[in-house]
Amino acid sequence: MLYKHPEALVDGDWLEARLEDPSIRIIDATYHLPHTDNDAYEEWTFRHIPGSVHFDIDTIADRGTDLPHMLPSAEAFAQAVGNLGVTNDHHVVVYDSNGGYMAACRVWWMFRVFGHDNVSVLNGGLAVWGKQRRPLEFDEPEVTPTTFKAEFRPHLIKTKSDMLANIDSREYQVLDARNEGRFAGIDHEPRPTECRGHIPGSVNFPFTHIMPPSHDFLIRDPDEICEMINAVGVDMDKPTIATCGSGITACVLAYAMHLLGKDNVAVYDGSWAEWGNDCSLPMGK
């Protein structure tokens, strides 16, 4: 079996051969959870893939909410990526220092939400790039701000009210990308919430099934992903919503299903950071 959208996944050989290609824009989407002492921007200034610009998901976000890195408006997104030198004609390649799950797939999803399909994820991210001794640079690239036009695709994002309505309608299958312990309400959340558990009716599908840590978070081949999908009972023909802790690793599931040809997987943007802090909502355990 082959990926239906192989263009959405590129490897180091492909990217290294195109570092000087003016039609390519490279984005470093490295992000760290708030309880760590790591600074993603500082890491980018220390070393990055040549020509890459840094994309901060907490800055290019809705700043009017207490929820983390919620999707910004189309206007704000267009302004921000335009300031990074990205146009609608560019092929955007996104990577992060953790292989893709934190938060290259999130940025991939954001570009698609705002109408830009010519976007790929670098398999293995900076970790594998560095292990392969590929070129790195320390200087910040010169960026010429340009114009990016965003066209919002509302079907790719879901809200708390959408999720609540779906509990009764079951129109969508809901996949939760968190680990088994968090899904069951046993383990603590990285961002502590008032309640633990999961959205009733959702299916646990940890993102590490797609990007196993034992393999440097390299994405599995299509046959393996299909096996994982079948093992948890996912119906590829049914409308699907992905959720997680705060809307980041849910995008790994949306990305993997896109590779297999399912282009319309939505992401619950607020995810458990929102649902788990409203104990008036139904909770599954």
Q: Give the residue among 270, 279, 282, 275 at the shortest CA–CA distance from 68.
A: 270
Q: Which residues pair with 203 in a beta bridge?
A: 175
Catalytic residue among 105, 226, 244, 279: 244
Contact (Cβ atoms closer than 8 angstroms) between residue 159 and residue 274: no
| Residue 244 among the catalytic residues | yes
Contact (Cβ atoms closer than 8 angstroms) between residue 122 and residue 91: no
For 10, list phi and psi in degrees, rounded to 5. Answer: -120, 155
CA distance 210 to 201: 21
Half-sphere exposure of 13 (CA within 13 A, CB side): 0
Which residues carry out catalysis?
Answer: 244
